[in-house]
Chains A and B, each alone.
Chain A
């Protein structure tokens, strides 16, 4: 297993951040004490991504206490899923992490397939990998671009959004929608790759390479950006693991855990790529890890195009995948299969399973219980952000108010995913 450190700062790569001096405690500071001030950040603060409120108690500009209040975007994903067929849940998963919907689509159907005990076709696996990596690129670009904007860098934001736009065009070409993709199906995909898909992707790839280089030049060695990012929002390896951190944020502390490598799914064991690691777990490391992961995703997609062969994208089983329309209109078997799938849903055998994949922000898990009928008995989404944001309070205690902005951004909280 190969990996590389992303940071070239002149520090001992084994020097770890200290553990939190003060671990998690309930709010105990009295805001009425002289010298203290209570500030409500959000939910409509421009840097709070519109969906979270922070109740901060300040002494000067130092954070004495804070409470992160989530739930402003709660819409009951899990209860909706219990009242829809297994297939009808796929569009709901788009709304979890809306920046990388394809990752959620893939994660959800893989969990259902685990419960069904089926394996999809090779071409389907390659296409799912391509789509998940494209979504990861779009997600990382948004995190980087928004981070630059919130620290006052308008131009790097435009670079990031310009590249992301090209990838949204690719996603639109793939499934007709930019954000609400609903591309995967249980046992396969909505359809095969469209014509000229690779040509469209190459255009986006060129745009990404150019814009990423520009962004890199403007930000990575930028004195102002560096001073805001480096040594702020630090978390140690032990604390990151203790709080259930996964994804780029965990890897920024130097822990080598990536679901794609540790527990490969699809064909991730057949492609070669590196896991970029940070060493200090500060905001700057998280920024560098994301930049490096963009390049790794490009490598993965290149290999997918190289190894992919023509073939069917759906499993040949009409009790799981809808039959072709010719069969529906011309044969009684096709008609019955179509009717049963639409009216009753897929009969997933009784049981429980936890399916997990590496989404853009970390381990996206779906714990599901089936009662043996066409609707799930229970679908629980383990959102990566949920674990990330709960560590925000111990990270920020004793820090400056201004450090909340870059920290909150590099954690990349997504309202749709955390509130479900």
Chain B
């Protein structure tokens, strides 16, 4: 495992260079190749939250048809994030725009992460087999994941059954005050999907997912606290079993001459740490021109906390954590997206994109129980939001994209 974990660490620098070179070469491919099915997508995402933390994420995805049945894929992401690993909610963080590194964690204020995911897909007569190798690296975390998937269409291509499996070899090496903690983590996850066309305008799908993780599953940067506000060491179980079930319906409609669709996705999740969650994600899209469409989105999410998650600990608990991802909360996201094609005459030029898209999402997070007692506010310095109990935590994301048919 050590060998596997070290290998991807050497990869990203070269991989980025290689992939950029590949992209440039492909960008010089004559426009006449537009019918090949090869596509290059560029995206740029900018995120900012109410605590003034931000995140820039340039990314690209290349799908290059090698032959009729083989497709080479490459996805690349690069993240630069502020406020990385800070004790979210620490009194001097964000709200007063302090720029010093977190004194407790010693973690960087600005941190970079990059990932790549090359893949190879074979597709013929409704049967598809794909393999990929995901690798990512940031200053204190590396991940490497081989993955495979297969799907088959039958029943006149109205029914699709797909299976996928991925194994993650992750390594967490905390910095600063928590250096020396951390360790290796392994996650195995599998999924089965059934998709069915019911009518010319109706598609339904159901997906079951199961995962098992073991190793170091903690997150020491967010230590739990006791009633006096003193820091305690985090202790979480060494394994986690989880399952999720998702159901989705895509219903098309005609409003005037243009096609529209309603995409409703519901997901339920449970794990043996006692955490359960539910997601309802609604997207409504409609064309406003031959190639342009708008999409409106609303997503609601709620999770219970892990069985051992508490705001304040006595200190004698078997398990304890200050990780906000294990606490109870709900959130609401609303968003809009517009996507369209550039004029047909542009396709005569190899360097001009064929399509563009722009998305904005706004999320409000209600961290119930946070800061509810004014007298406890001072001692609760480790919560997600920086604002009073009558306020809220919010964030916005802008995603812009261009697509080139190669």
Partners in one complex: no
Residues of A that sit less than 8 Å from B by CB: none
B interface residue numbers (CB < 8 A to A): none
